[in-house]
Amino acid sequence: MQAYAAYNQVQNVTENARSVEYRLLSQVTAEMIQASEEGTTIQRRSEALKWNRQVWSAFRLDLVGEDNKLPEDLKSKLISLSFFVDRETVDVLYERTGFTNLIEVNRSVMKGLMPD
């Protein structure tokens, strides 16, 4: 819940929600890209995965909240993505797959958050 509180605090400062979410996804995605490189320690990999999972957990909490005004269809799709991130994170931790899918999910959502 600490990640959610930090997310809400930053969100309330000066930026609009979309730019905060974009910046946050950009930072965590960059960290996952670095963590996915050959020779990266298991600790660095797991810290990047943990951070990404916390971001998506915060998104999910926001999406199910009463104050969230996104269309129901979009909320449902994003909540499904958050559960995919949870499952995929476990697979990456156990080295059944790499970071590629998680990075691509973040990049896709970032495209949707970019200003017009």
Global pTM value: 0.84
Over the chain, what is the mean pLDDT? 90
41 backbone dihedrals φ, ψ, rounded to 5°: -70, 155
Q: Which domain holds residue 75?
A: 2-113
Which pLDDT score is estimated for 17? 86
Which residue stretches of the chain have pLDDT < 70?
A: 1-15, 116
Which pLDDT score is estimated for 36? 97
| Other beta carbons less than 10 A from residue 45's beta carbon | 19
Which pLDDT score is estimated for 10? 47
Per-residue pLDDT of 19-44, as tens digits, reads 999 999 999 999 999 999 999 999 99
Cβ burial of 60 (10 Å; 0-12, 13-18, 19+) is buried
Q: In total, how many domains does the chain have?
A: 1
